[in-house]
Structure 1
Amino acid sequence: MASPAPGADAGAAALLKREARAERARLIPPVLIGIGIAACGIAQAWLLARLLATLLGRGDAGWAELAGAAALALLMAGLGVAQERAQIAAAEHAKARLRAAAFARLLAAGPADERAVGEKSTLVVERIEALEGYFARWLPAAMLAVLAPLLVAGAAALADGPSGLILLAAGLAVPVAQAVSGIGAAQASRRQFEALQRLSGRFLDRMRGLPVLVLFNQQQAEAARLGAAAEELRARTMRVLRIAFLSAGAMELIIATALASLAYRHGALVQGAHPAPVAALFVLLLVPVFFAPLRAFAGAYHEAMAARGAAAELAPLLDAPEESGLLLEEIPPKVTVTFQDVTLSYDPSRQPALGGVSFRVLPGETLVLTGASGAGKTSVLRILMGFRRPDSGRVAINGHDITRLRPSELRRLSSYVSQRAHIFPGTIRENIRLARPEADDAAVEAAARAAQVSEFAALLPQGLDTPVGEGGYGLSGGQAQRVAVARAFLRDSPLVLLDEPTAHLDPGTEAVVLDALRRLCVGRTAILASHARAARVGHGRVLELSHGRAGASRMAGN
């Protein structure tokens, strides 16, 4: 996978800034709770200072101060739990919204997004998951790192002005140290995510193709390549951890310096000659209270760097322009499809997928596209589904150029049956209803009967409500294809697109599916891509494609 473009950092920063604004209202509660914790810490430090001064013989505190300090400790613990829950809730809301947006963009792009399945899953799952720390810890910590230390330094200054200035100077040194130690943190995190995405994508894709690897005796070689990818991820992860340890060391050095400076200023306390022992002890006890939000800030700093690395890959997807084009007022009952000198290239260095293809399909007519693999049959269907735009020529539906429509509007016009129907976990009824979620049970059952799904569903324990597994577990290949045909019946669109719908079926099952497909095509404009002879029998015209060019059309069976 290529490294992000030079503008990736700017895109990532813009994405994170926009999302931070969107979550601002949900981040206010944890920030307010954090300020409350700091205020409790100040009050507890004052009570403890009075108790310690009493133990040194310089005060008059008693059980009331001890009970107050204990109550404040319990209150701080409760506020900490509430703050954590508020932060997690904000992060979960942000992740859910981002994941929905990213998934919607991937669905809109469809096959036009040529990334491997593993890379897409990593993008939607792991990249967005890496943003949790940004919303849950970094954004609240960044705000509290300014507000809470100012509150604590102000309380210290009221007790002893120079001590407050010492704490304030130490607080200003923290972001400087974080910036110095984290110069390469964003780049290291981004490279780590790139290595993780390569490994995850490669692993998922190779698992899907495991039978092919074993068939060609490539399992050992592929295992070695996966091992190399895993080693790269290990090395990049260790670089990120090294930067994190340097940052933690810088923070400890600043705290030690501040504590030493305050101890030097109030050294007379040890000799018992300090004029204000309670104030001196109070200032010393404020040191952990002062640095607690700054520690959280330092710990979350690398969450922000990791988030920027993850956002660098998400930004191009989420910032892509929305679909443009016209919307259909209504779906026309009949459509005429016209291709006129259409060309399409996937790679300029290779032969065009389509090179000047022309044909017309009238309402109620079925056109069968034949030809060897790579002849351009699927490319014709992709154009009609809006997943590709022709390089030149004209594609029209009812005389109107389809490039003026939004790609999603093209998909509203058509029903599609592919080589292998994808069946989702759920019931058969739910899988059919996927084509038209608002359809009632009567419409689903009518579609099931038309596609001959009811014939095998009647033999199952719960009929159409029988659960099936991911990928059609529990159904044969032919039964899964009939579910796909039932979806097309339920969708009831004027254009039917069929891409090798019987390619992997035995002759008996193929005949059953083809019979359902012929009924589906009646009265509709249909384009069938197939080089199976049985699929051409009983349909309309046949158009032979060869190397992206169309030959003479003929009637099926001739």
Structure 2
Amino acid sequence: MTEQDAATSLPAQARDWLEHAAVPGRTTLRLAATCQALETVFSVVGWATLAWIAGRVLDHRAQPTWPVLAVLPAAGLLAAGAALAAARCKAVGRQRIGRAIRRRLVAAMLPTGRRRGEPDPATAALAIVESADDVADYHAQALPERLSAPASMAVIFLVTAAVQWPAAAILLLASLLVPLNMRLAGRFATEGADERVAASARLAAVVLDSFRGMRTLRGIGALARRRGELADAAAELNAATMAVVRRAFLSGAVMDVVITFSIAVNATYIGLSLLGYVRLPAAPPTTLAGALLALLLCPMYFQPLRAMAAAYHNRERATSAVPTIMALLADTDTMPETTGRTTPSPAGPVTVVLDDVAFRFPHAERPVLHRARVTFDAGCWTAVVGPSGIGKTTLLSLIAGMRSPSTGTIRWVSPADVSQPHLGGCAWIGQQTVLLPGTIRDNIRLGRPAAGPVDVERAVAAAGLAEVVARLPGGLDTPLGERGLGLSTGEARRIAIARAFLSDAELWVIDEPTAHLDPDAEAQIIAALRTATKGRTVIVATHSAAVARCADTVLGILDGTTHTVREATPA
């Protein structure tokens, strides 16, 4: 059918991926198909009973008995139950498929050593929020229809043929015309779906960029221009969406014409047969009950075709979403799967060794790092200094395992093993402290969800949070708003320190811990870090002279090369 045309527009690898995406919900969707077929059987029984009862009443024959009358509501209840079960199974299957796709996308978006490139935020957001649903919607509708439609149509066709085969022949001819008309009407659907995806990505990018740079836009007086760009992007998305709607409407209108014509021809033939004006030589005699049943089943025969047509248009959206999803997963799906596996922290003090490490961003002219050979001693503080944009944060992300080096190796050496860096094995404190809606206790326990009250209290004390918590009316159970509203920058960073302390990691990687703090708050954060990281390896990127003075070793970066500014003083 037309679904095959849509399929051939995708490369073989993308078609395989789209079909494989249905695996998590396939069993449930097959159950939905079974329920849909049962719904058709029960509906046919109900309509046949109704036609038989109506025929006997109108022919003034004996009144139907109560057992026969009971079949009608029983069949209706069974058909309704089967329909509800099918809808429920579809919803569950859709949820499972969407969840599986989002899980893979989130794993690809998270900073892990398996990802080789930085994804575009707008494209990633669109894929997770919308594209995953497009694929799930398609499978939830198409798979049950593809399995149940042949059986449902065959049941209706055979029953119609048993009571009035000319009517069944008309249904068969009409069903052969529907795919041809759908193919002609749906040729432009793929192009429209692609345009809509591109317009959605552009609008998401403009919105995201506007939120990120709102202060800058206001400062340079560019808000009016950005407002116009947002309006243009929204208008483009609206036009692309309406184009898809128009194409779907055209396809539906073509099918309605075919179906209406078929029903009209069937009704005309059956009416003329009942009046005796038309009599085919090999046709069975037309009874009132048989005529009613054939007319009642005629619209039911085309219902699976209608559903498959709707699934066809869902497929167009899914096929447009697949390339975007595959591009985001390309860097990770070929790597060993680690989702769901917790990597333990190294046991004992950690020495970090960089052997000829180089890193270059895609399409960049010069590498950020070039043949770095550095050893970060176990149990020591090392401060990484240099101008903004020189590569300090990139170096930290390489050490933490958030990026993979272009060349060279990075090793964590501990008494227990010699291993490559792995995300989760170290404590990472970035420039922005992420605090989720919830209590202070909940935010601290993100470092170790299974931590008990005593462990949390120890982390609070180590981070110097005790006085802050004591001032709050709810203590550790004080709720925090989105992004930690209600706390100062220094207090929020202490929560991040407590969270890292609770993780019990032997290696701490810290990016600008005292940025935007006054001298008093900076001194408090430095004191909290020194207490919390006692005996642990700490690598901290900083512009602060106070932080650099507290470090055992100071490492500089200049023109992609590393050099020692100050070595550790021998004990």
Q: 1:292 aligns with which of 303, 308, 311?
A: 303
Correspondence for 1:310 = 321
Q: Assess if the C-alpha contact under 8 Å between 1:112 and 1:387 holds in 2.
A: no
Q: Assess if the C-alpha contact under 8 Å between 2:348 and 2:414 holds in 1.
A: no
Classify 1:323/1:333 alpha carbon distance in 2 versus 1 (closer, same or farther; 3 Å): farther
Correspondence for 1:27 = 29
Query: Aligned-pair RMSD on alpha carbons?
Result: 3.1
Give me the whole-angstrom Cα distance separating, in 1, the residues matched to 2:475 and 2:344: 38
Q: 2:555 aligns with which of 523, 531, 543?
A: 543
Give me the whole-angstrom Cα distance separating, in 2, the residues matched to 1:488 and 1:206: 32
Q: 1:277 aligns with which of 287, 297, 316?
A: 287
Q: Which amino acid aligns with 2:354?
A: F
Find the residue that maps to 2:524 and give its secondary structure: helix
Shift of 1:132: 4.4
Which is worse superposed, 60-69 or 78-87? 60-69
**Residue deviations 1:400-429, cap 9 Å, x none?**
9x9973xxx523432122222111111111
Q: 1:453 aligns with which of 450, 454, 465?
A: 465
Q: Which amino acid aligns with 1:97?
A: A
Correspondence for 2:354 = 339
Correspondence for 1:3 = none
Classify 1:347/1:259 alpha carbon distance in 2 versus 1 (closer, same or farther; 3 Å): closer
Q: 1:486 aligns with which of 467, 474, 498?
A: 498
Which is worse superposed, 91-100 or 457-466? 91-100
Shift of 1:389: 2.3
**Residue deviations 1:276-329, cap 9 Å, x none?**
223333223221121122222222321222222223322334564254499988
Q: Which amino acid aligns with 1:119?
A: T
Q: Assess if the C-alpha contact under 8 Å between 1:122 and 1:201 holds in 2.
A: no
Q: Which amino acid aligns with 2:389?
A: G
**Residue deviations 1:13-33, cap 9 Å, x none?**
323312334322212332222
Q: Which amino acid aligns with 1:335?
A: V
Correspondence for 2:40 = 38
Correspondence for 1:243 = 247
**Residue deviations 1:307-359, cap 9 Å, x none?**
22223322334564254499988723122222344321114442221123332
Q: Assess if the C-alpha contact under 8 Å between 2:391 and 2:557 holds in 1.
A: yes
Give me the whole-angstrom Cα distance separating, in 1, the residues matched to 2:453 and 2:9: 51
Find the residue that maps to 1:537 and give its secondary structure: helix
Find the residue that maps to 1:359 and give its secondary structure: strand
Correspondence for 1:503 = 515
Q: 2:92 aligns with which of 85, 89, 94?
A: 89
Shift of 1:168: 2.4
Which is worse superposed, 523-532 or 89-98? 89-98
Q: Assess if the C-alpha contact under 8 Å between 2:354 and 2:372 holds in 1.
A: yes
Q: Verify: 1:418 aligned to 2:430, yes or no.
A: yes
Structure 2 gaps, min length 5: 1-7, 280-284
Q: Verify: 1:396 aligned to 2:396, yes or no.
A: no
Which is worse superposed, 457-466 or 30-39? 30-39
Find the residue that maps to 1:531 and give its secondary structure: coil
With normalisation by structure 1, the TM-score equals 0.89
Which is worse superposed, 313-322 or 153-162? 313-322
Q: Which amino acid aligns with 1:438?
A: A
Q: Assess if the C-alpha contact under 8 Å between 1:41 and 1:289 holds in 2.
A: no
Correspondence for 1:16 = 18
**Residue deviations 1:118-137, cap 9 Å, x none?**
43332212222333432432
Correspondence for 1:518 = 530
Which is worse superposed, 282-291 or 547-556? 547-556
**Residue deviations 1:97-139, cap 9 Å, x none?**
3323322332254886523434333221222233343243222
Correspondence for 2:203 = 199
With normalisation by structure 2, the TM-score equals 0.87
Give me the whole-angstrom Cα distance separating, in 2, the residues matched to 1:403 and 1:226: 52
> Sequence identity, in percent?
32
Structure 1 gaps, min length 5: 1-5
Classify 1:70/1:550 alpha carbon distance in 2 versus 1 (closer, same or farther; 3 Å): closer
